[in-house]
Structure 1
């Protein structure tokens, strides 16, 4: 894998069998409501921390969605790197002068080096940065969003959904684990397979899992039943990229998302739910994968398609019952400064 791809995906090839293996050694520090003595955590302070999360990245897109669903905009500011980056770091190309207006840096790498001058691993998003020190606190993407749902509750908006309900956590953890290993990471395992054998095995694993969620979603509106949870956020960010990128770029081409009735209806249902589709920028997504992964796409030509109008069509998922926010309410309109530049949704 190229060095660019390593920074893009947070993964590296294993040396055994040339299979794709994601480097999951993240900065383990957590942001918490209360910190015990000796715990590797810092106390949450509204306004002190900044979420750096590129719209192009599926792992970062999760954090953007959760922040919006829960109404954390006032407590946690948002910095948005551009969709492409060099081999060294994600960069703030979308900001005036190419500099993040709060952190004052061009490269996210500077915030990692402020934490550890010898930081040895990939410069990944999402990352939460302490604005008082300029240093990354954590880049543990899975824990970041679970903590948004639990540790940041004091700063949730009125009517925010419970994305990690206690009564469902045991089953949710199992579902999310399978979604992560087989689907979220499964598309990368196909795309960066180093041999025909490893690709074939990855392909079979991916579509076995997609068939599993297709069956699960045939009789229930959301992964955990009647309301959206963190499990849906995690599946959505892969589904929304599937036809636009993964089907072609990562050779996940048994079928398209639009050819799986339950999954396609489910994905449209979520896309049209406030907090999901309004965080998605298909142009940035395509630019990222087709430009940064130059080992897979040497000419860096970005496809014009696919036709995106289907995302706005009726899905009839309401016939399964349930409601996205349960007893809560949808988030309000996207703040103008945070509106996705190429959204296909109306204002």
Structure 2
């Protein structure tokens, strides 16, 4: 009886790798008839496949006949400089380790026609798989057809019927941030949200609302930004003029930078007068003044994990990853009245 059988599930590529005494990447290459795998290694891999009765399913099956050794990555031009670069770095590193190059297509805005054009471009290039790192607000038939014919993974929680999903639990991110402020003794938490067309923004806002509701608190109207520090600064100027504001949950670190500046410009100290929690934990968050309390998301790991899920080189799964709260100096108990 195999270990996979004992676990009560179909054997994975990782099981095949263990049985053959090679890496999962080598199994992937062997099953695609890569010239970089010698005959003896390929024989061991195929013997392990037969012994374990390993079957392709989903993306791995479609990738078994891949020819271009290129993966496509779709990004939005705006939406956070750090997150784009970190996701790209993770995708390129994991793809390169598996013997793949990466072709990047960017779209200027969340428009179905632009998304279609980017997916068609990657399809015409003959990519073996696609990673979509932008939300799919509206899915067209052509997008469905492409992502059904070409193995596709989305990393933001949205999906087509043919795509697999690798996401972070954004609802939990919003709840963690809000609960931290309530635990410090704040009686209300205001919110600077991301753009509503982003699934992450909606889920973080829902986590904030549900946390307040569980505490018996009516949520105030959220203020919407566009992920940029400029938009955070605009909304921060509004919040700075509301005396009862003592705690703000900001949907991204970059917007939080703008909120902190706006509060200071209005003579309100962070965290002496107002506590701030944000989301992402980009590298600059630790060097903000004061350093930001934030909910960590590992964009690099998300990019690498998307490649692993696409190529079937590990048991990546499709459940949402759990974020973690990083407490720094931007939060404190509310000021005494």
Bigger radius of gyration among the two = 2
- What is the TM-score of this pair, normalised by structure 2? 0.30
Q: TM-score, normalised by structure 1?
A: 0.29
Higher normalized strand content (fraction of residues): 2
Q: Which structure is higher in RCO with an 8 Å CA cutoff and minimum separation 6?
A: 1
